[in-house]
Amino acid sequence: MAEPVVSGVLGQLASIAIDLLRRKLKDLQAVLEDAERKQLDDAGVRRWLEKLTDVSYDIDDVLEEWSTETIKSVIQNQKEADKKKKVCLPLTSSCFCVNQLKRVGVRQDIVQRIKELNETLEEIAKEKQHYSLETTKVVQKQTRETISFLDESRVYGLDGPKSVLIEKLLNESGEGRPGGGKSIPVIIPIVGMGGIGKTTLAQLAFNDAEVKTHFSEQMWACVSDPFDEIKVAKAIIESLKASHQNLGTLEALFQRIRESIEGKKFFLVLDDVWSDDHEKWEKYMQVLRLGAVGSRVLVTTRKKEVAIMMGAATQMITLQLLSDEHCWSIFSALHSGKETVKSTKNLRELGGKLQASAKDCLW
């Protein structure tokens, strides 16, 4: 079929263009602080900032559209593979499905828009030279750390997502190894905005009694940003209760992981993943594929691109905002049950006013 070839080429072109886009935008963002100071006295800098702001919004829109279209494509391809029946129109020696042609057209349009945004950023970068903007010194941000333990009595609103996740972790139907080939662990991404409960959901699954008995090995590694390959490998080894003493290279660390998981059914949580660099993650997948059939890799991330890069869009669990009832349960729990009936009533009235103002409740 020509469609997968065309789609694959478009994907490669888009990946290259997106990387270039991000690098250019990052270079420009390095002078934002200086530009924001100077715009008050320089109308030219102010107009330049407005252009950069506008194109930043356009970039967010087109990248979101590309992610959505890619996910749709993956899901549709899976559906077509399951049905094994396609209604096609003959075109020379190939057989093109109408919906595939439409998808290729949409993807071509997005790739063209990404190309145009790259050209716009190039023009903005050239204009920057006129204003002598100084680069802001980058302060190394502190890496976030998470752990696998939690107090389940203080968790609200995740019963539904937990049931879905546990089902995905335990269900092994149709996961045989045809021809005796290597198994590929099923990757399950949990996607959602910051603070919505992705790590908490992963902790619930990690500590579930049935999950604990289902897998031979369980591992937890907080990835965070920047992605430190050595650090993550060491965290996996520590979860396996193995030693990484005197192991200073990624090769040596991966050999130790291999010794610990080869032929075993494992459950690995990679929490707070930001990097969608396929080359880096493929190194990990090469060793993780040595596990037994039924192995699982659970990934928590804010970025749909990570799920797509890992080829796991069809397994994705997307967390939504909590209901008003669950928000109130959390709010009440913070007061440890010490408030009187009167104060509880006052809190409810205050909560109603806050809700009317904010409308959305995050935790």
More confident: 112 or 353: 112
Which residues make beta-bridge pairs with 218?
Answer: 267
What is the 3-class SS of 107-142, one letter each residue?
HHHHHHHHHHHHHHHHHHHHHHHHHCCCCCCCCCCC
Q: What is the DSSP letter of 176?
A: -
**What is the C-alpha separation between 285 and 306, in angstroms, rounded?**
14
At position 251, the amino acid (one-letter code) is E
* Position 238 confidence tier, pLDDT thresholds 50, 70, 90: very high
* Interval 43-101: pLDDT, tens: 888 888 888 888 888 887 887 787 777 767 766 666 666 665 555 444 443 444 445 54
For residues 54 and 341, the model is more confident at 54
**In 84-217, alpha helices (H):** 98-128, 159-170, 198-206, 209-214
Tens digits of residue pLDDT in 353-363:
555 544 444 33
The reply to whether the predicted model has a pTM over 0.75 is no
Q: What is the pLDDT of residue 360?
A: 43
Q: How does 282-302 read in b/e, with b if 16+ C-beta sit within 10 Å?
A: eebeebbebbbebbbbbbbbb
Residue-level pLDDT at 49: 83
Which position has the higher pLDDT, 21 or 297? 297
Q: Pick the closest to residue 185 from 309, 312, 339 (CA basis).
A: 312
In order, the DSSP letters of 293-345 are TT-EEEEEES-HHHHHHTT-GGG-EE--PPPHHHHHHHHHHTTTT-S-HHHHH
C-alpha 150/C-alpha 130 separation (Å) is: 54
pLDDT: which is higher, 176 or 48: 48
Show the tokens assigned to 315: 């397994």
Per the CB < 8 A criterion, the answer to whether 237 and 256 are in contact is yes
Residue-wise pLDDT for 118-169, tens only, equals 888 888 888 888 888 877 654 455 567 888 888 887 777 788 899 999 999 9
